[in-house]
Amino acid sequence: MTKVQLHFSLLRPLTDQDAKGISKAHSYYGLMRVQVAPTLDALDIDYDATRLSEKDVEAALVRYGVPIARKWSLD
């Protein structure tokens, strides 16, 4: 296992619905930790790089409706 940390900025303040998406992201295979930064304007993600790529992590967060500033186009 190779633990890697990513930092994503948030596009807007989090809502209750966003909190549900973050909660669901915790169950995504390979994501180990999804934590809101103390400033409430970013997320810190720990994931297993042997299972997921950075694009996979981003796609999972977007799929769960988390308002992150995307790094790649997910076409």
Residue 69 buriedness (CB in 10 A; 0-12 / 13-18 / 19+): exposed
CA distance 41 to 12: 7
Q: Which CATH code, of 3.30.70.100, 3.40.50.720, 3.10.20.600, 3.10.150.10, is assigned to 3-63?
A: 3.30.70.100
Q: pLDDT tens digit string along 11-70? A: 999 999 999 999 999 899 999 999 999 999 999 999 999 999 999 999 999 999 999 987
pTM, 2 dp: 0.86
Band (pLDDT 50/70/90 cuts) for residue 73 is: low
CA distance 34 to 49: 15
